[in-house]
Amino acid sequence: MGVDLRKVGSGNIGAANTLRALGLIPAVLTFILDFAKGFLPVFFASQFPADIRSVVCLAGVLGHDYSPFLRFKGGKGVATSLGGIIAINWKIGLVVLITWLVVFILFKIASVSSLASLATAPIFSLLWQGEYFLVFLIIFGLALLRHRTNIERLKSGEEKPIQLIKGRGGNNGD
């Protein structure tokens, strides 16, 4: 396709910027691959204790967020986090996914959806699988850190919703 996602839109390698730069199908493929980066390692570590699975999950998110292959710049880790969370506990992952969808339908802003959804993971971990509370809290903290420019734009009213136009995304900086 000849497009370097790090040089267009937000400069982010994730699905939202891919949607804006390349359209729906490449964005879906990006989401699937990013999700798999979180899901597969944790799934294959399912026979290990919770602390090992937590480290594997966190390593996947950190590797995505700070990829050595991209000079320690990467995505924001939302799809990768979702994959790891679903591999740990599908019920918590389902809450995260549904929260993302509902918030996105209401506001059309990927960063708001991402932060709101990842905030649910540590909360529901306390209800269903408390041993993962800390790793889910750290993942949410990383998401806050990675979305700091989005948060600034939200504060100033400059964060714009994603709008699908001719198969392309909108113009917000997620």
pLDDT 10s digits, 114-147 = 999 999 999 999 999 999 999 999 999 999 999 9
Q: What is the pLDDT of residue 163?
A: 64
Q: What is the pLDDT of residue 113?
A: 96
Q: What is the pLDDT of residue 165?
A: 43
Distance CA 90, CA 75 (A): 23
Distance CA 64, CA 11 (A): 14
Are the C-beta atoms of residues 78 and 99 closer than 8 Å to each other?
no
pTM for the predicted model, two decimal places: 0.89
> What is the overall mean pLDDT for the chain?
90
80: its two tokens: 């990768």
Q: Give me the residue spans of the domains in the chain.
A: 9-156
The list of the chain residues with pLDDT below 50 reads 165-174
Neighbours of 101 (CB within 10 A): 12
Whole-Å CA distances, 133 to 99, 139, 148: 18, 10, 23
DSSP structure string for 28-96: HHHHHHHHHHHHHHHHHTTTS-HHHHHHHHHHHHHHHHT-GGGTT-----HHHHHHHHHHH-HHHHHHH
Distance CA 73, CA 114 (A): 19
Nearest Cα to Cα of residue 145 among 99, 104, 101, 111: 111
